[in-house]
Each structure stands twice: as structure tokens, then as C-alpha cells.
């Protein structure tokens, strides 16, 4: 046994001796994901947390401001299960005469695939994790003669299922539960919930545009931007932290303001063109727009062109005065000059545009 193993065994022994009330206090500083991980440390911790899981369930529900006590939570689950059961009952009574009237409803549900195509009763969710958790709960519910679900032995699994279901179907977030849901999603180490994150974060960003409705920290905005982001959010975090938007989906939360925000983002890049962080994030943002929304990408490019044109001047060969590109005087001048001079000026302007674009916007 090496030194590390000795330390781990000593730590496990010490934490196993912690009283239940202290374990409960420790769990109050954790979310449901952390509690489940903590529970797996050893058999003693698993047993102790099982003893207090009803209290932990009650505390976690209060954090979400959804149910005043566990009884309401269990009643909600019972109603949800009974509605799902009703679909099987309808199929069962339709098939009853084919079953020689000897099969019970429990047997029919357990062997449903033998009698009916599974498409007759679609899964409750679009996400595998939610369906998997529900299958465990519903199987227990069936095998225990459609029992009250409050006898289900794993309260933490019930809460985890409820959280996933909320993220899909009850996406309305507010000040009370956003941090809870955000931590629940980001601390889950399940590899296949990225689509669920995108689904939920879309709903958050739609409301984020309204001031103080869902207050997000800059770190939360950056984390969410790995999956989905909006133009107002990019404007806020453009100079905060390096972003990776290579797989990010664009959320069009506010059509009225997006174009104004694009102009502001372009102006920020122009004024802070020496800032490496802003340059990196601006490039990421521009590539994301090119991939996800060509309309806004063209607006951004047109804004760059307007800024660049405002910096380019040519000399009027007739009056010997400076003329800014794309103004009325410039257009009249190009109309009056001969073809050779027009071509020469056009090449000069093109070179200047490339120079300024590379200098300020790449």
C-alpha cells in the first residue's frame, strides 16, 4: 500500500464518522449533482445520505421555489405517472380480447413491445437521459402495483428526473431558479446533454435582453456562449474572457436591437484594435455569424466598410483638395475623370481598404 492509498483510506475513515446533522449541513452547500457524487464515496456515506435524503429533497425543492413540501412534489409525480399510465390502459383494453383475458395490466406494460409498436406511446422526452430516468421510476411504479411514488427508495433520483424534465418543458427561468438550473447543468458530467443545454439556454437568452429579469454573471455568460449566445451578450463579454464560438448557436433574442449592437461591436473593435483579447473574440464572433447567419454577417462587414471608407482620402487632381471616399464629391469626380485615372484611383482605394481591414478588423 503506497502513501496515497493510506491518505485516502484515512480520509474515508474520518468522513465516515461525521454525524448526520453535519453531513446534512455539508450537503446544503451542494447541488444535487454534488450530493450524488458525495454519496458514492463509500458505503457508510451512502447509507447516511440515504437516511437524510427526504430532508435533502425538501431543502433542494425550497431552493427552486417550486413546492412548499415533499408531499406536493410526490403528488405532482404521481399525477404525471398516472397520466402516462392512462396511455397504456387505453392500449390494454383495446387488446384485451387478444390476450385471452388472462394477462394483467402490469404484465401487458412490461411486455408492451410484443403486443404493440412502441410508437403508439412516444417517449416522454426528446433526450435520452430524461427517458432513462423515467424508465427506472415508471418500472418501479408498475412493479409495485401503481404505488404512491413517495415510497420510491432513491429520492435524489426523483429530483434529478424532475430537474431534467423542467429544463425541457418548463423553461421559464427567473431570479430564483436560474443559478440552480445553471449549476445543475454545468456540473453534470454526462456527455450527451449538450442539446438540452442549448434548448434551455435559448429560453434564458430570450429573456436576458430585458434588464434584470435574469441576472447573469459574466462567467455564466461565457460558459453559456460555448453552446449558444446572442449579439447583446457578445457585446457585453467581448473584452472579458477568451471565447470559443466554433460550435456555438446564435440566439436571435431581439430583432429590434441586434443591428445596433452589431454596430457597437464593430466600433469597439475599431477603437481597441490593438487589444489581443478583443481581436480574438471579434474574429470568433465574425466566423460564427458567417456560419450561422449571413444576414448579420453582411451587416457587420458593411459596417466595417463604412468605417474603413471614412479613413480613406484621395486627392482631387482638378482642385488638389482631399476628398473622402464614397461621398457625393467623390462620385462626381470619378464620373468626370478619364478611364486611366479612374482605374489608378480604384486600385489605390482597393489597396487602402485591404490595408485598413487587415489592420483594424482581423
Please report whether residue 99 resides in a domain. no
Q: Are residues 38 and 20 in the same domain?
A: yes
Same domain? For 236 and 333 the reply is no
Are both 227 and 283 inside the same structural domain? yes
263 within some domain: yes
Q: What is the pLDDT of residue 203?
A: 87
84 and 64 in contact (C-beta within 8 Å)? Answer: no
Does residue 124 fall inside a structural domain?
A: no
Residue 212 confidence (pLDDT): 56
Q: Is residue 343 part of a domain?
A: yes
Does residue 59 carry a pLDDT above 60?
yes
Confidence (pTM): 0.83
Domain's final residue, options 307, 324, 339: 307
Local confidence band at 245 (pLDDT 50, 70, 90 cut-offs): very high
Say whether both 274 and 320 belong to one domain.
no
Residues 241 and 275 in one domain: yes
Q: Average pLDDT, whole number, for the chain?
A: 84
Chain segment 107-161, per-residue pLDDT in tens: 878 877 665 665 678 889 989 999 999 999 999 999 998 899 999 999 999 999 9
Q: Give 301 or 102, the one with higher predicted confidence.
A: 301
Of the two residues 285 and 180, the one the predictor is more confident about is 285
- Evaluate whether residue 258 is within a structural domain: yes
More confident residue, 171 or 51: 51
Pairwise CA distance, residues 200 & 203, whole Å: 5
pLDDT band at 260 (very low <50, low <70, confident <90, very high): very high
In contact, 225 and 208? CB cutoff 8 Å: no
Which of 35, 63, 91 is at the close of a domain?
63
Residues 319 and 244 in one domain: no
Q: What is the mean pLDDT of residues 260-269?
A: 95
* Residues 203, 265 share a domain: yes
Structural domain contains residue 151: no
pLDDT of residue 8: 46
Residues 284, 316, single domain; the answer is: no
Both 240 and 340 in one domain: the answer is no
Q: 304 CB contacts (<8 Å, ≥6 apart)?
A: 266, 357, 360, 361
| Domain boundaries, position 351 | 310-360
Percent of the chain exceeding pLDDT 90 equals 46
**Residue 43 placed within a domain:** yes
Based on the structure, what is the number of domains in the chain?
A: 3
d(CA 194, CA 188): 11
More confident call, 127 vs 324? 127
**299 shares its domain with 320:** no
Report whether pLDDT(234) > 60: yes
Whether residue 152 lies inside any domain: the answer is: no
Asked whether the beta carbons of 220 and 199 are under 8 A apart, the reply is no
Q: Are 70 and 54 a contacting pair, CB within 8 Å?
A: yes
User: 208 and 230: one domain?
Assistant: yes
Amino acid at each position: 500500500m503506497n502513501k496515497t492509498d493510506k491518505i485516502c483510506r484515512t480520509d474515508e475513515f474520518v468522513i465516515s464518522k461525521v454525524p448526520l446533522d453535519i453531513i446534512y449541513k455539508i450537503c446544503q452547500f451542494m447541488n444535487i449533482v454534488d450530493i450524488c457524487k458525495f454519496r458514492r464515496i463509500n458505503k457508510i456515506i451512502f447509507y447516511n445520505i440515504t437516511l437524510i435524503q427526504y430532508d435533502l429533497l425538501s431543502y433542494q425543492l425550497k431552493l427552486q421555489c417550486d413546492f412548499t413540501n415533499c408531499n406536493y412534489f410526490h403528488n405532482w409525480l404521481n399525477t404525471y405517472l398516472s397520466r402516462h399510465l392512462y396511455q397504456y390502459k387505453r392500449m390494454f383494453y383495446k387488446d384485451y380480447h387478444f390476450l385471452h383475458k388472462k394477462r394483467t395490466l402490469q404484465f401487458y406494460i412490461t411486455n408492451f413491445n410484443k403486443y404493440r409498436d412502441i410508437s403508439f406511446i412516444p417517449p416522454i422526452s426528446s433526450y435520452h437521459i430524461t427517458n432513462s430516468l423515467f424508465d427506472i421510476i415508471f418500472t418501479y411504479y408498475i412493479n409495485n402495483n401503481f404505488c404512491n411514488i413517495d415510497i420510491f427508495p432513491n429520492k435524489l433520483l426523483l429530483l434529478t428526473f424532475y430537474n431534467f424534465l423542467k429544463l425541457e418543458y418548463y423553461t421559464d427561468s427567473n431570479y430564483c431558479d436560474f443559478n440552480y438550473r445553471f449549476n445543475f447543468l454545468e456540473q453534470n458530467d454526462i456527455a450527451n446533454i449538450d442539446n438540452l443545454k442549448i434548448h434551455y439556454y435559448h429560453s434564458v437568452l430570450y429573456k436576458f435582453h430585458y434588464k434584470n429579469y435574469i441576472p447573469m454573471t459574466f462567467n455564466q455568460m461565457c460558459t453559456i456562449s460555448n453552446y449558444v449566445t446572442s449579439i447583446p451578450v457578445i457585446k457585453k463579454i467581448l473584452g472579458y474572457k477568451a471565447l470559443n464560438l466554433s460550435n456555438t448557436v446564435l440566439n436571435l433574442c431581439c430583432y429590434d436591437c441586434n443591428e445596433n449592437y452589431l454596430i457597437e461591436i464593430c466600433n469597439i473593435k475599431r477603437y481597441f484594435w490593438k487589444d489581443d483579447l478583443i481581436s480574438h473574440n471579434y474574429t470568433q464572433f465574425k466566423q460564427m455569424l458567417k456560419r450561422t447567419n449571413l444576414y448579420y454577417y453582411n451587416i457587420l462587414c458593411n459596417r466595417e466598410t463604412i468605417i474603413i471608407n471614412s479613413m480613406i482620402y484621395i486627392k482631387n487632381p482638378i482642385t488638389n483638395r482631399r476628398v473622402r471616399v464614397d461621398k457625393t464629391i467623390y462620385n462626381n469626380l470619378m464620373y468626370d475623370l478619364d478611364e486611366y485615372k479612374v482605374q489608378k484611383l480604384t486600385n489605390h482605394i482597393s489597396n487602402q481598404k485591404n490595408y485598413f481591414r487587415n489592420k483594424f478588423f482581423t
